[in-house]
Amino acid sequence: MSNNGGTSVPLLAGRDLAKTHGRSQALRGASLELHAGEILAVTGTSGSGKSTLLHCLAGIVRPDEGSVVYAGERLDQLPEKRLSVLRRTDFGVVFQFGQLIPELTAVDNVALPLMLAGAARAEAHAQAGEWLERFGVRGQEGLRPGEMSGGQAQRVALARALVTGPKVVFADEPTGALDSLATEQVMTALVHTARESGTSVLLITHDAQVAAYADREVRLIDGGVAPVGVTA
């Protein structure tokens, strides 16, 4: 278990977040803290606003009200150029359905963040191969997303999110396409990697098996966050 969930200054904090989509209010004063090295699970029923909360905290969308602070910076007030840099250097994001680039092979998808950061192609491919092996998809380097199973594609997406060594990984239902055995393998690899590197993980899930890997769990209820307690 992480020891960072106490009174230390959080690495990432959302305060009194409100967000409306059309006529539907997804968040109503939600507040959440994520500490360095902590794995935090956010659970809730379908449509409770879990993904909206993640998008606000990752700087993907701006809340209508409230604030998001990461390492002393107000994400909700930063220009898009600065947010893009943070998403490239400090944040790794895994969406529910992977969102891999369909024209690229598995190894190219994983290597792309490294090459965007200036790594040579050969070096990036070597690191990408190591990450594909960690997540059990070594040998699939040449496959494109349309040629993979849903579970394979999601493992590639996890490798892509972690390959740059981000400080925070935002994972939105990262095992939604996996069976129970693959879920255990992927979560074990994700937690081990986060522990080794001190990476914080914000984990959106409806699966109690997945939430059990977290240090702490909170639940979204009626657009607000309620603590659940220690889960690991």
- Summarised one tens digit per residue, pLDDT across range 135-180 is 888 888 999 999 988 788 888 998 999 999 999 999 998 888 788 8
pTM score, two decimals? 0.88
- Summarised one tens digit per residue, pLDDT across range 103-132 is 999 999 999 999 988 899 999 999 999 999
The per-residue pLDDT for 7 is 57
The per-residue pLDDT for 28 is 93
Q: What is the DSSP letter of 9?
A: P
Assess whether pLDDT exceeds 50 at residue 78. yes
Mean pLDDT score of the chain, rounded to an integer?
89
Phi-psi group of 221: left, alpha or beta (phi > 0 → left; psi -120 to 50 → alpha; rest → beta): beta
The per-residue pLDDT for 232 is 42
The domains found in the chain, sorted by start residue, are 12-90+166-230 (3.40.50.300)
CA distance readout (Å), 115 to 92, 108, 109, 193: 15, 9, 10, 21
Assess whether pLDDT exceeds 50 at residue 224. yes
Q: Which long-range contacts (CB under 8 A, 24 or more apart) does 192-197 make?
A: 193/134, 193/162, 194/37, 194/39, 194/169, 195/37, 197/165
